[in-house]
Chains A and B, each alone.
Chain A
């Protein structure tokens, strides 16, 4: 057996590998590279975990509607370690989205995408798009109700693309409704087409990072006036910095923490699998995965002819702004405080996205008999009955109480302060008798008892 030294010498003589490796790990990073710079390597690590667990899942998964659900059930509940492997893949998908997002924000706030790294940023945005497509196509594969209905909604959104909507939707689905061909297309995209796209993109992204070096930390005061000054400043920052292998220790520690987290999530929470997909179901409540919730929630705000704003123009605008950011934010400044427009626009975007995501998690449920809400405590029997009428008759589709409900009609959280119970009974039975221009439909089907109970409940809302 040759020792490691002899193997190294063998490889050195033929391929110079030890020298190349040493130049790679010994290269100096600019001063100040710290924990915030680990998000990119964490994303890469998570993508590798996804690739490996994905390959193993493919050994058992069957991409046909007749067998997909059963094969995932088999993986999850019968095969040894199946719950862990699928759990790691499922939670890993969420973590990839988290870390690619953090990496993007770090790059954006530090202005690292500026000269000479504009193309690194563009390739990074393309990688984000591929990750989003991975998430979207992978979500259908378990073929449970969640998967099926999220895909019905997700592909229906393509129907609003101006001019080519229905063509695009049917090409995505492979047929008019989500079915056999949709699963085949999503599977082939998820396990063949997208991996073939992401590997060269990652390779190019990494090549650019190594070739140009990690961007220097932004400095609020020292602003280079010329590109020559910029390069000189970077040479000094590298001279004062530490070699790459020291930074690699941080990356390794984070990767270890993520591995522990993934295995823990997979062990204790597993990967959910609901009922099998059923296009004839009418009681299922479709909800997308958390990272698409802000787009889903946005649909509340653009009704009727404005729908394409939420389904097409805003997503398209976001992608175009991200792709062209290096040419929109052209100043020499990198420090976030010296770029107030970009910084405040990003914070505004994050606030709106966070708000929409929060609203999305609290979206009103449709009316269903027997669904009683927690604030029922302390209500009189009549008002309690009224609360049930409120739920059954679907009032929450248009009205909000305590932040729950639709926005088409007035907020009823304090309606008892301004309206008497008699008025509420009269108005609900026939709104136009009180206000000829009322848009609310008459609820003449409700009995007098139901109307009185409803009014009693609304009367308690003060």
Chain B
């Protein structure tokens, strides 16, 4: 059994060894934790470079008709961004093209356009959006996100995704 009362002179020696071992553990833990935390967290925060996508020739989009389009990246994406197709709901508004992100703004379920109801429906919690992406019903907190679009030489392109507020102005 360990003596409960240290003999004189031993207490400080004991304290020193305790301090030494605990200090060593703290230094080792910090030395490993800093690179490991950075390794885990920081890559997640790096924005992937925006790649513009081809949507298709203007004449394939009759005015006012909502179409689901698979986006064709203009340059090969590098791994690991190379996996997965992307699609957008695209409509020709006459003077401009609007491309909606297919994810509901509530919890990300894929929205489906109904031509009869002229609305987007989310299959998860009853989110409904109108033809401009505004929330008509259900829990979504903001209108559908949109892709930047541009038209060049008769072809429509989609760029980065952005959020809009209730007045459909760009936000964030």
Query: Contact check: which of B68, B85, B114 meets A394 at CB < 8 Å?
Result: B114
B8-16, B90-98, B104-112: which lies at the A interface? B104-112
B106: chain A residues at CB < 8 Å are: 299, 307
A346 within 8 A of partner (CB) = no
A437 within 8 A of partner (CB) = no
B51: chain A residues at CB < 8 Å are: none
Q: Do B84 and A279 touch across chains, with their CB atoms under 8 A apart?
A: yes
Query: Contact check: which of A174, A283, A299 meets B43 at CB < 8 Å?
Result: A174
A427 nearest CB across to chain B (Å): 16
Q: Bound state CA distance, A304 and B124, in angstroms?
A: 15
B24 nearest CB across to chain A (Å): 22
Q: Do A156 and B114 touch across chains, with their CB atoms under 8 A apart?
A: no
Q: Bound state CA distance, A173 and B108, in angstroms?
A: 13
**Which label, helix, strand, loop or mixed, suits the secondary structure of the B interface?**
loop
B116 nearest CB across to chain A (Å): 5
Q: Do A367 and B117 touch across chains, with their CB atoms under 8 A apart?
A: yes
Q: Which residue of B lies closest to A364 (CB)?
A: B126
The interface size bin for chain B is 35 or more
Q: Do B137 and A408 touch across chains, with their CB atoms under 8 A apart?
A: yes
A206 within 8 A of partner (CB) = no
Q: Which residues, 126 to 163 on B, are CB-close (under 8 Å) to A? A: 126-128, 130, 136-141
B86: chain A residues at CB < 8 Å are: 279-280
Q: Bound state CA distance, A192 and B45, in angstroms?
A: 23
A416 within 8 A of partner (CB) = no
Tally A-B pairs: CB < 8 A.
153
A430 nearest CB across to chain B (Å): 14
Q: Do A406 and B137 touch across chains, with their CB atoms under 8 A apart?
A: yes
With A282-B111, A305-B141 as known contacts, state yes or no: A445 contacts B125, CB within 8 Å: no
A280: chain B residues at CB < 8 Å are: 70, 84-87, 102
With A66-B83, A282-B111 as known contacts, state yes or no: A394 contacts B45, CB within 8 Å: no
Query: Contact check: which of A177, A305, A392 meets B117 at CB < 8 Å?
Result: A392
Q: Bound state CA distance, A372 and B139, in angstroms?
A: 26
Q: Which residue of B lies closest to A299 (CB)?
A: B125
A219 nearest CB across to chain B (Å): 39
B118 within 8 A of partner (CB) = yes
**Which label, helix, strand, loop or mixed, suits the secondary structure of the A interface?**
loop
Q: Do B83 and A149 touch across chains, with their CB atoms under 8 A apart?
A: no
Q: Do A180 and B83 touch across chains, with their CB atoms under 8 A apart?
A: yes
Bitwise, A283-294 to B at CB < 8 A (1) or not (0) is 111100000000
Q: Do B44 and A278 touch across chains, with their CB atoms under 8 A apart?
A: no
B109: chain A residues at CB < 8 Å are: 149, 152-153, 285-286
Q: Do A282 and B128 touch across chains, with their CB atoms under 8 A apart?
A: no
B81: chain A residues at CB < 8 Å are: 175, 179-180
Bitwise, A163-199 to B at CB < 8 A (1) or not (0) is 0000100110111110111000000000000000000
B48 within 8 A of partner (CB) = yes
Q: Which residues, 391 to 408 on A, are CB-close (under 8 Å) to B? A: 392-394, 397-398, 405-408
Q: Bound state CA distance, A405 and B123, in angstroms?
A: 11
Q: Do B107 and A282 touch across chains, with their CB atoms under 8 A apart?
A: no
Q: Do B138 and A397 touch across chains, with their CB atoms under 8 A apart?
A: yes
Q: Bound state CA distance, A365 and B114, in angstroms?
A: 14
A441 within 8 A of partner (CB) = yes
B3: chain A residues at CB < 8 Å are: none
Q: Do B138 and A303 touch across chains, with their CB atoms under 8 A apart?
A: yes
With A282-B110, A393-B117, A394-B119 as known contacts, state yes or no: A65 contacts B141, CB within 8 Å: no
Q: Which residues, 199 to 229 on A, are CB-close (under 8 Å) to B? A: none
Q: Do B137 and A393 touch across chains, with their CB atoms under 8 A apart?
A: no
Q: Bound state CA distance, A83 and B137, in angstroms?
A: 43
Q: Do A394 and B41 touch across chains, with their CB atoms under 8 A apart?
A: no
Query: Contact check: which of B83, B87, B115 meets A179 at CB < 8 Å?
Result: B83
Q: Do A441 and B102 touch across chains, with their CB atoms under 8 A apart?
A: no
Q: Bound state CA distance, A67 and B117, in angstroms?
A: 40
Query: Contact check: which of A277, A296, A299, A366 meets B121 at CB < 8 Å?
Result: A366
A66: chain B residues at CB < 8 Å are: 83
Q: Do B126 and A153 touch across chains, with their CB atoms under 8 A apart?
A: no
A345: chain B residues at CB < 8 Å are: none
B44: chain A residues at CB < 8 Å are: 170-171, 173-175, 181
Q: Do A366 and B112 touch across chains, with their CB atoms under 8 A apart?
A: yes
With A181-B43, A181-B44, A303-B138 as known contacts, state yes or no: A282 contacts B87, CB within 8 Å: yes
A88: chain B residues at CB < 8 Å are: none
Q: Do A307 and B68 touch across chains, with their CB atoms under 8 A apart?
A: no
Q: Which residues, 18 to 45 on B, are CB-close (under 8 Å) to A? A: 40-41, 43-45
Which has the most chain B C-beta neighbours within 10 Å: A173, A283, A303?
A303
A409 within 8 A of partner (CB) = yes
A29 nearest CB across to chain B (Å): 31
A389 within 8 A of partner (CB) = yes
A413 nearest CB across to chain B (Å): 17
List B residues at the A interface (Cβ < 8 Å): 40-41, 43-45, 47-48, 68, 70, 79-81, 83-87, 89, 102-103, 106-112, 114-119, 121-128, 130, 136-141
- Top 9 nearest A-B pairs (CB, nearest first) are A180-B80, A303-B139, A406-B126, A280-B87, A366-B123, A156-B108, A280-B85, A285-B123, A65-B83
7 contacts between A and B (CB under 8 A): A152-B109, A156-B107, A181-B44, A279-B85, A299-B139, A408-B137, A441-B136
A-B contact sample (10 more), CB < 8 A, given A170-B44, A179-B80, A283-B112:
A152-B107, A175-B44, A280-B70, A300-B125, A304-B141, A367-B117, A393-B116, A406-B126, A406-B137, A441-B136
List A residues at the B interface (Cβ < 8 Å): 65-66, 149, 152-153, 156-157, 167, 170-171, 173-177, 179-181, 277-286, 296, 299-300, 302-305, 307, 311, 364-368, 389, 392-394, 397-398, 405-409, 439, 441, 443, 445-446, 450
